[in-house]
Amino acid sequence: MPALHARKTPIALPPRLRALAREPFFHFVALGLLIFLIRGVLDDTPEQYRVTVGPDDVRRIATGYEWQFGRPPTAGELDHLVERHIEEEILYREGVAMGLDVDDEIVRRRVVQKLQFLQEDVALPAEPDEAALRAFHGRHAERYAEPARVTLRHLYFSPDSGGDAAAHARAAGMAVTLRDGPSGRPAAEPPADGDAFPGRGRYVALDAAGLSRTFGHSELATAVFELPPGAWHGPLRSGYGWHLVYVEQSDPGRERPLAEVREEVRVDFLDEQRTEMNAAALAAIKGKYVVVREDLEP
- Res 1: pLDDT: 46
Q: Cα separation of 249 and 221, whole Å?
A: 15
Q: Would the pLDDT of 164 be above 70?
A: yes
What is the second-level CATH architecture of the domain 147-251?
Answer: Roll (3.10)
153 close to 244: Cβ distance less than 8 angstroms: no
Q: Would the pLDDT of 88 be above 80?
A: yes
- Res 43: pLDDT: 47
- Res 151: pLDDT: 94
Partnered with residue 237 across adjacent β-strands are 242
Candidate from 12-21, 117-126, 253-262 with smallest mean pLDDT = 12-21
- Res 39: pLDDT: 52
pLDDT digits (tens, 9 = 90+) for 117-151: 777 666 678 889 999 999 999 999 888 988 899 99
CA-to-CA separations, 119 to 112, 116, 284, in angstroms, rounded: 11, 5, 12
Q: Would the pLDDT of 24 be above 60?
A: yes
pLDDT digits (tens, 9 = 90+) for 169-199: 999 999 888 876 554 445 556 566 788 898 8
Q: Please, what is the average pLDDT of the chain?
A: 81
Strands 202-206 and 149-157: antiparallel
Residues, the chain? 298
pLDDT digits (tens, 9 = 90+) for 52-63: 888 888 899 999
- pLDDT band per the 50, 70, 90 thresholds, residue 207: very high
- Res 276: pLDDT: 87
- Res 42: pLDDT: 47
- Res 80: pLDDT: 92
Candidate from 49-63, 110-124, 239-253 with smallest mean pLDDT = 110-124
Q: Cα separation of 107 and 89, whole Å?
A: 15
Half-sphere exposure of 139 (CA within 13 A, CB side): 9
Q: Angle between the 258-286 and 130-139 helix axes, to the nearest 10 degrees?
A: 90
Please name which of 138, 136, 118 lies closest in space to residue 127, comparing C-alpha atoms: 136
For the four alpha carbons of 177, 178, 182 and 183, in that order, the dihedral sign comes to negative
Average pLDDT over residues 9-14: 56
Give the residue extent of every domain in the chain.
55-122, 147-251
Average pLDDT over residues 98-122: 80
- Res 171: pLDDT: 92
